[in-house]
Amino acid sequence: MTKAIVVGAGIGGLVTAVALRRVGVEVEVYERASEPRVSGTGLSIMSNAVAALRGHGIELALEDRGRAIETFHLNTFDGRPIRAVPVKSIGERLGAPSVCVHRADLQAALLEAAGDCPIEVGAEATGYTADGDGVRVDFADGRTARGDVLIGADGFHSAVRGQLVGPETPRDAGYLCWLATVPFRHRALPAGHVGHYWGRGSRFGLVDIGHGRVYWWGTSDVPVWDGGKEQVLRAYDGWAEEVRAAIAATPADAIVGLAARDRPFLRRWGDGPVTLLGDAAHPMLTSLGQGAGMAVEDGVVLARCLAGTADPRRALRRYEDERRARTRQVVRASRALSRFEQAGPPGARLVRDTSFRWMPEPLLRRLNESALTFPATTGTRNT
């Protein structure tokens, strides 16, 4: 039986552990935090990721834990409609909804699905050594782990990626993001609604994640955040009433601020018995809401490639080959959409709003379906 060491117990790491165990791979998970993360804000598991999970026999009851998207509207900063995006009807055609959920609820569902899978916490990976028998992983506290393969699912600051490719400089998108989840109800936010608001060098999103909670995010070209709620309120002065109300209802210490950034796309994700997955392999900006979805797809495809294989190293290369084009396209599209939506100059904003308002419906559907469709995989071929 193949044994996999998974470094990282986030969304990608846990999906991978669950998926691998379903195809008979022995798994050990190591997480640098003192416990698997149960905090955070909201995220979306779009139709492609739901289809990937279901196709692998993984049912997480996401619609009970979060809220399926019923309506998705693009608006001007002050709430005037630009365009409705047919996310629900695309999901109906694909046979899988898009669901918005709190990260902690998704994490809890994955931990339940992982069952008795060994998960060791407080285990900060410091390096690995590959040899003819597999790979050994070393941790800061002196622990070691050995397996046939090592899967680096340890996020944006991946230690596994750091050893694999060497020092890198993150790619800054030039704006800040604010994130929060808060109990909130408003007439402009019906059940299952997602609303995006576009301003000048700034955006805002209101997302129903179920159970009376809203996940909101904002972006701004301001160079730094002073850590205060007042700066966030000032950034959205004059915006739609529901935007201001959501910020006002949020405790200051519930707002998370971070710089928007990704990394240049890697042509090589692995070597020998080592590979990368999720944000460790292909971190992306958030404009398409596909960061978690790509990690889910990665985990399912990796499991299919490793299922019953006699040559796990070759299976890792096949996984990387299957995922490279898909994730490169989503990384590029996320960055391009980010630049387009974050438009500052008046002319650029006019082009942005007009192009979406008058985009032919078939083109709008086709662009969204390309991201929301889990591609057929050939990873079931065993070697």
Cβ distance 205 to 196 under 8 Å? yes
Alpha carbon 140 to its chain's center = 27
Q: Sort strands 171-183 and 134-139 into parallel, antiparallel or unpaired.
A: unpaired
Look up residue 261 and give its two tokens: 């950034």
Cβ distance 16 to 277 under 8 Å? yes
Single-letter amino acid, residue 189: L
- 87-121 in b/e burial notation, b at 16+ Cβ within 10 A? bbebbeebebbbbbbbbbbbbebbbebbeebebee
Report the DSSP beta bridge partners of residue 26. 3
CA separation for the pair 308, 306 (Å, rounded): 6
Q: Sort strands 67-68 and 3-7 into parallel, antiparallel or unpaired.
A: unpaired
* Reported pTM: 0.96
CA separation for the pair 296, 317 (Å, rounded): 18
Q: Which CATH superfamily is domain 3-170+262-372 in?
A: FAD/NAD(P)-binding domain (3.50.50.60)
Per-residue pLDDT of the chain (383 residues; tens, 9 = 90+): 899 999 999 999 999 999 999 999 999 999 999 876 656 789 999 999 999 999 999 999 999 999 999 999 999 999 999 999 999 999 999 999 999 999 999 999 999 999 999 999 999 999 999 998 999 999 999 999 999 999 999 999 999 999 999 999 999 999 999 999 999 999 999 999 999 999 999 999 999 999 999 999 999 998 889 889 999 999 999 999 999 999 999 999 999 999 999 999 999 999 999 999 999 999 999 999 999 999 999 999 999 999 999 999 999 999 999 999 999 999 999 999 999 999 999 999 999 999 999 999 999 999 999 999 999 776 655 54
Q: 194: exposed, middle or buried (C-beta count within 10 Å: 0-12, 13-18, 19+)? A: buried
Cα-only R_g, the chain: 21
Residue 9, phi then psi, degrees to nearest 5: -110, 35
Cβ distance 96 to 54 under 8 Å? yes
